[in-house]
């Protein structure tokens, strides 16, 4: 395991520059939108008191996103919301003539396909050759076309963007090198609903630490931004967890800006297999994340097993943040560096449910 403590982590007032990306006004507007959708309900915040005792911490809460809109992950909050907004901006009189396009490891594409079905338009989803076949099947079941692409997730993003432009499709990506990409901003404000729910669910005892996984960094940034605005100087320490094989956000922190991570990015945390962080997300994480952890696959696999013993449905990717906590607990030096002790109220994001291939 590697870790990097962010020397630039700030508890200063939230800035106008940050608000251009993630603001409470926009995040609450997304939440209000979801509240009108059939099937919406807050994802449960589960109390894992037995594990808290074992870990010698004050409390442990697990945000369980495994049933969100029946899509199995927090991604249901991002792609579907951004797709509706993107279609509205396109001003297409007949939605049936529109085509949404995106790239995915699995869950974002399922969310965009879900939106397309609700909105009555077509959907084309680009999935790299190593993405789980079960995820592709779930996307096809929603009526979307799946195109398999060579290479990695990052390669599929490039191809999807190019073909969307040439075919007149509406792109709904969850990452961008443009810090003010409106669609990616909408995705992240959709994710912020999960953090806003937590602020209500833990109003009496807000967390002191939050472990959040990162692929391109969108969820972590949404959580960081929400907590910075709601809690101010008392915000929780934000710990970002990634697979060692695809630690693009940690590398951003080390280098000070988004960089490309080489290699095949293969990891059993398949939904986190990304080689370049989103510049939109990095704009927030650069100031609001306190530490970055890169873990080997065996940590996540052990974490999934422990969660199963707690009767929690999680895939390996969904268990990544919990794995980061377990790895930190096992390292006295890191535990001290993160100020985790018997007074700590720790929050862990469980981002998706179990999948046959995860």
Per-residue pLDDT tens for 110-167? 999 999 999 999 999 999 999 999 999 999 999 999 999 999 999 999 999 999 999 9
pLDDT of residue 357: 41
* pLDDT over 70 at 358, yes or no: no
The per-residue pLDDT for range 179-216, each reduced to its tens digit, is 999 999 999 999 999 999 999 999 999 999 999 999 99
What the block records as the tokens of 111 is: 């969310």
pLDDT of residue 93: 84
Q: Which of 273, 277, 223 is nearest to 254 (CA)?
A: 277
The per-residue pLDDT for range 303-356, each reduced to its tens digit, is 999 999 999 989 999 999 999 999 999 999 999 999 999 999 999 999 999 875
CATH number of this structure's domain 2-74+181-350, picked from the four choices 3.20.20.10, 3.40.50.1100, 2.40.37.20, 3.30.1360.120: 3.40.50.1100
* pLDDT over 80 at 104, yes or no: yes
Reading across the β-sheet that carries 237-243, which strands appear in turn? Answer: 2-5, 291-295, 237-243, 209-213, 345-350, 59-64, 45-47
pLDDT of residue 354: 86
Cβ–Cβ under 8 Å, residues 182 and 87: no
Distance CA 288, CA 284 (A): 6
pLDDT of residue 115: 97
CATH 3.40.50.1100 occupies which residues in the chain? 2-74+181-350, 79-171
Distance CA 42, CA 97 (A): 33
* pLDDT over 90 at 249, yes or no: yes
What the block records as the tokens of 198 is: 């937590």
The per-residue pLDDT for range 7-40, each reduced to its tens digit, is 999 999 999 999 999 999 999 999 999 999 999 9
Distance CA 153, CA 352 (A): 18
Calculate the average pLDDT of the chain.
96
Q: Domain 79-171 is of which CATH architecture?
A: 3-Layer(aba) Sandwich (3.40)
Cβ–Cβ under 8 Å, residues 125 and 102: yes
* pLDDT over 70 at 287, yes or no: yes
CB atoms within 10 A of CB 72: 26
């Amino acid at each position: 395991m590697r870790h990097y403590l962010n020397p630039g982590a700030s508890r200063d007032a939230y800035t106008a520059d940050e608000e251009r990306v993630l603001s409470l006004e926009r995040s609450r507007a997304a939440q209000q939108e979801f509240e009108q959708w059939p099937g919406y309900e807050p994802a449960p915040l589960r109390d894992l008191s037995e594990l808290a005792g074992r870990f010698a911490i004050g409390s442990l809460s697990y945000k369980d996103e495994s049933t969100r809109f029946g899509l199995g992950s927090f991604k249901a909050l991002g792609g579907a919301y951004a797709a509706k907004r993107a279609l509205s901006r396109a001003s297409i009189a007949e939605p049936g003539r529109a085509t949404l396009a995106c790239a995915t490891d699995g869950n974002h594409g399922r969310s965009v396909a879900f939106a397309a079905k609700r909105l009555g338009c077509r959907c084309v989803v680009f999935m790299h050759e190593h993405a789980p076949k079960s995820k592709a099947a779930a996307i096809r079941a929603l009526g979307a076309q799946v195109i398999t692409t060579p290479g990695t997730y990052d390669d599929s993003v490039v191809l999807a963007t190019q073909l969307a432009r040439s075919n007149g499709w509406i792109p709904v990506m969850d990452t961008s090198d443009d810090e003010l990409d409106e669609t990616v901003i909408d995705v992240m404000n959709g994710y912020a609903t999960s953090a806003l729910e937590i602020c209500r669910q833990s109003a009496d005892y807000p967390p002191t630490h939050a472990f959040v996984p990162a692929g391109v960094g969108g969820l972590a940034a949404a959580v960081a931004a929400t907590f910075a605005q709601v809690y101010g100087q008392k915000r929780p320490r934000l710990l970002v967890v990634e697979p060692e094989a695809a630690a693009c956000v940690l590398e951003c922190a080390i280098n000070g800006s988004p960089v490309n991570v080489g290699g095949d990015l293969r990891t059993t945390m398949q939904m986190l297999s990304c080689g370049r962080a989103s510049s939109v997300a990095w704009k927030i994480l650069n100031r609001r994340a306190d530490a970055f952890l890169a873990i080997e696959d065996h940590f996540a696999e052990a974490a999934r097993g422990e969660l199963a013993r707690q009767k929690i449905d999680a895939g390996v990717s969904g268990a990544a943040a919990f794995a980061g906590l377990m790895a930190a607990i096992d390292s006295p030096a890191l535990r001290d560096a993160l100020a985790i002790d018997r007074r700590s109220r720790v929050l862990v994001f469980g981002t998706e449910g179990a999948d046959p291939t995860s």
